[in-house]
Structure 1
Amino acid sequence: MKITSKYENGTVFWRTFNREDAMYFVGLMEGNLSYGESLQYDHPAGYFKMEMKSNGIFGGQIVAAGRVYSNSDEFVLTKEGHLDRVTN
């Protein structure tokens, strides 16, 4: 999966989870994404869950954990904090 950030309100914290996870405490991978940067993440199983928060792990929720994403997805994180699909 690829996400390019156009989010203008600070750094975005992201972390991923297994597709089967029902609770979201410890992520598989995590990092920060700033305006203009892109994130490339591929899960070995091809599908995963992800969450994104503004300004760190305790920041405001941008994308809630729970939705399943595919390695082939491509998104733009808009300046308002919405994920717009580029491809699927």
Structure 2
Amino acid sequence: MFDQGLNARDMVNRGIGIEVDRDETDGSFTGRDIAKGLQLVMVEKELGEELRCTGQEYKRIFGDEEMNQRCVTRFLEYLSNNT
């Protein structure tokens, strides 16, 4: 719960998300704010296209279970051999 804001900002910085407009006094947002963000990503030509392309690149990497398993195995081997 407490890291959601940090994760969201990280996704924005990586070019795979946008930040939803929020009320500056309490950080809340409305359904209209969500709809505005969705429209920006799904309909807006320039920014939306860029986000979708970047998202597809990440999907190829993180959606490859075999590659992810190899990375985890190598990481565990590294830890085992170097600690």
Q: TM-score, normalised by structure 2?
A: 0.21
Relative contact order higher in (CA < 8 Å, ≥ 6 apart): 1
The structure number with the bigger radius of gyration is 2
The structure whose residues are more often helix, as a share, is: 2
Q: TM-score, normalised by structure 1?
A: 0.21
The structure whose residues are more often strand, as a share, is: 1
